[in-house]
Protein backbone atom coordinates (compact mmCIF):
# COMPACT_ATOMS: atom_id res chain seq x y z
CA UNK A 1 0.00 0.00 0.00
CA UNK A 2 1.35 3.39 -0.96
CA UNK A 3 1.36 6.28 1.43
CA UNK A 4 -0.57 9.33 0.29
CA UNK A 5 1.63 11.95 -1.29
CA UNK A 6 1.63 15.44 0.06
CA UNK A 7 0.31 17.99 -2.39
CA UNK A 8 3.00 19.69 -4.45
CA UNK A 9 3.96 23.09 -3.11
CA UNK A 10 4.68 25.72 -5.75
CA UNK A 11 7.99 27.56 -5.56
CA UNK A 12 7.98 30.80 -3.59
CA UNK A 13 7.11 33.99 -5.41
CA UNK A 14 9.73 36.72 -5.49
CA UNK A 15 8.37 38.43 -2.36
CA UNK A 16 8.34 35.21 -0.34
CA UNK A 17 11.84 34.36 -1.55
CA UNK A 18 13.10 37.83 -0.65
CA UNK A 19 11.69 37.44 2.87
CA UNK A 20 13.19 33.96 3.23
CA UNK A 21 16.60 35.24 2.11
CA UNK A 22 16.39 38.17 4.52
CA UNK A 23 15.44 35.83 7.39
CA UNK A 24 18.50 33.69 6.58
CA UNK A 25 21.05 36.41 5.76
CA UNK A 26 20.45 38.96 8.52
CA UNK A 27 21.05 36.65 11.50
CA UNK A 28 23.93 34.92 9.72
CA UNK A 29 25.77 38.20 9.11
CA UNK A 30 24.96 39.42 12.62
CA UNK A 31 26.39 36.28 14.22
CA UNK A 32 29.50 36.34 12.02
CA UNK A 33 30.09 39.99 12.91
CA UNK A 34 29.60 39.33 16.63
CA UNK A 35 31.93 36.32 16.65
CA UNK A 36 34.63 37.60 14.30
CA UNK A 37 34.05 41.38 14.53
CA UNK A 38 37.32 42.25 16.23
CA UNK A 39 39.32 40.28 13.68
CA UNK A 40 37.33 41.60 10.72
CA UNK A 41 37.65 45.19 11.92
CA UNK A 42 41.36 45.19 11.05
CA UNK A 43 40.68 44.24 7.41
CA UNK A 44 40.14 46.58 4.49
CA UNK A 45 36.37 46.94 3.85
CA UNK A 46 36.59 45.08 0.52
CA UNK A 47 38.50 42.18 2.06
CA UNK A 48 36.12 42.17 5.05
CA UNK A 49 33.17 41.92 2.67
CA UNK A 50 34.89 39.10 0.76
CA UNK A 51 35.41 37.14 3.99
CA UNK A 52 31.81 37.75 5.13
CA UNK A 53 30.36 36.66 1.80
CA UNK A 54 32.65 33.62 1.58
CA UNK A 55 31.47 32.43 4.99
CA UNK A 56 27.82 33.54 4.87
CA UNK A 57 26.73 32.36 1.40
CA UNK A 58 27.38 28.63 1.96
CA UNK A 59 25.73 28.79 5.39
CA UNK A 60 22.65 30.46 3.93
CA UNK A 61 22.39 28.35 0.76
CA UNK A 62 23.26 24.90 2.10
CA UNK A 63 22.15 25.08 5.75
CA UNK A 64 19.40 27.66 6.21
CA UNK A 65 17.46 27.95 2.94
CA UNK A 66 16.51 24.25 2.68
CA UNK A 67 15.07 24.44 6.19
CA UNK A 68 13.16 27.61 5.37
CA UNK A 69 11.74 25.95 2.24
CA UNK A 70 10.59 22.99 4.37
CA UNK A 71 8.97 25.32 6.93
CA UNK A 72 7.21 27.21 4.13
CA UNK A 73 5.96 23.96 2.59
CA UNK A 74 4.65 22.77 5.97
CA UNK A 75 2.86 26.06 6.53
CA UNK A 76 1.28 25.98 3.09
CA UNK A 77 0.16 22.35 3.32
CA UNK A 78 -1.19 22.88 6.83
CA UNK A 79 -3.23 25.86 5.62
CA UNK A 80 -4.69 23.84 2.72
Pick the closest to residue 62 from 18, 24, 8 (CA basis): 24
Nearest Cα neighbor of 52 from 23, 25, 12 is: 25
> Which helix (H) or strand (E) is 31 found in, with range?
helix 14-41
Cβ atoms of 24 and 65 within 8 Å: the answer is yes
**53-62 tens-digit pLDDT:** 999 999 999 9
Rg for the chain, CA atoms, rounded: 17
Q: What is the pLDDT of residue 6?
A: 61
Q: How confident is the model at residue 11 (pLDDT cuts 50, 70, 90)?
A: very high
Model pTM? 0.82
Q: What is the mean pLDDT of residues 9-16?
A: 96
Domain segments of the chain: what residues? 14-79
Amino acid sequence: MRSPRAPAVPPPNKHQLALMIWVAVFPTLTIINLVFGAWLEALHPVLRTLVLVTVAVPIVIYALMPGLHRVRARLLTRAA
